[in-house]
Amino acid sequence: MLAVREIDPQVYRGLVRNGGLVCSRVRLKQSDLLISACRDLSREAMPLVVHYRGQIEDYIAVNPFFLRSMVPVETDEGAPEIVRVMIDAGAKAGVGPMAAVAGALAEFVGRGLMESSPEIIVENGGDIFFHASSRKEVLLLAESSPLKGLRIAVGPTSSPIGICTSSGILGHSISFGNAHAVMIVAASASLADAAATSVANIVKGVSDIERGLDRAREIGTDGAVILASDRVGAWGRIEIVG
C-alpha cells in the first residue's frame, strides 16, 4: 500500500501490489477510498462512507467553526463519535479537527469492515487504516524531493493502526511548513492524520527535522518519518527498507 497525500490517485494506486488482497474502490463526493481485503467489500463499504460523511457534513452545517478552525475546538459530548474523535485528535496534535478528517473516515469505514475480512486496509487520499496479519510495505512518495520515495515495512498488527502523510509542498491542504513529506504511525488513523499535519507545520527545512520528531513524540504517536530536501529523519515504529 501507499502513504501519500494529494498526488493523483491514478498515479500512486498504479503502484499498489495487493499481496493477494482484493482491491475495490468507493467514491462519494470528495472521498475516494481504496479498500484492500480478502474480497471485494465495496458493497459493504458504501453505506459506511455515506453514514460517516453524512454525520460530519450535518455537524458542520450546524457548527461551521468545526470546518474553518485551524486550532483545537472544544469537546462536544453531543456530537457523533466520528466528530468527537476528530476533535480529540486535533486537540492532542494542536490543530483543527478537520486535519483528521481523511484519517477518521478511513478509520471508521475500516473498523466497520473488520468483521468481513481478517485483513483490511483502507486508504483515503493517502491516509491509511491498517489491520493485517502479515508483513506489508508502504511507499512514502515525495515526488518533489531528491529522494523521491522510501519503502517502509509494517509488521503484522494485533489491533488496527493508522499511517498518514502530510506535505508542506504537495497538494492543496493547508500547511505552514515546507517538508516534502511527513509520515506518522499511530494507534488510530485519526490521530496519525492530525499529527502529520501538526509535524509538517513546524518543519520549514532540514534544521527542523529533529524538532519535528520531538513533536511527534509529544503528541503520543508511535513513529514518524520526515523528508526535507535530501535528508531523512525517523523515530519509533519505523523500519525503512529501501
pLDDT average, residue stretch 151-176: 76
Tell me what the mean pLDDT of segment 193-213 comes to. 95
Which residues neighbour 224 within 8 Å (Cβ) at sequence distance 6 or greater? Answer: 182, 183, 184, 185, 195, 199, 212, 213, 216, 233, 234, 235, 236, 238
Task: Tell which phi-psi region holds residue 220, choosing left (phi > 0), alpha (psi between -120 and 50) or beta.
Answer: left
> What residues are paired with 36 via a beta bridge?
23, 121
Q: Domains in the chain and their CATH numbers?
A: 2-240 (3.10.520.10)
Residue in the block written with cell 490517485: 9
Instruction: Output the pTM of the full model.
Output: 0.89
The H-or-E segment that residue 26 falls in is strand 22-28
Tens digits of residue pLDDT in 117-162: 999 999 998 899 999 988 888 888 765 555 667 888 988 888 999 9
Please give the pLDDT value at position 6.
Answer: 47
Has residue 10 got a pLDDT over 70? no
DSSP code of residue 94 = T
Query: Could you identify the residue written with the cell 478537520?
Result: 98
Residue 197 burial class via C-beta count within 10 angstroms: exposed 0-12, middle 13-18, buried 19 and up: buried
CA-based torsion, 202, 207, 209, 213: positive or negative: negative
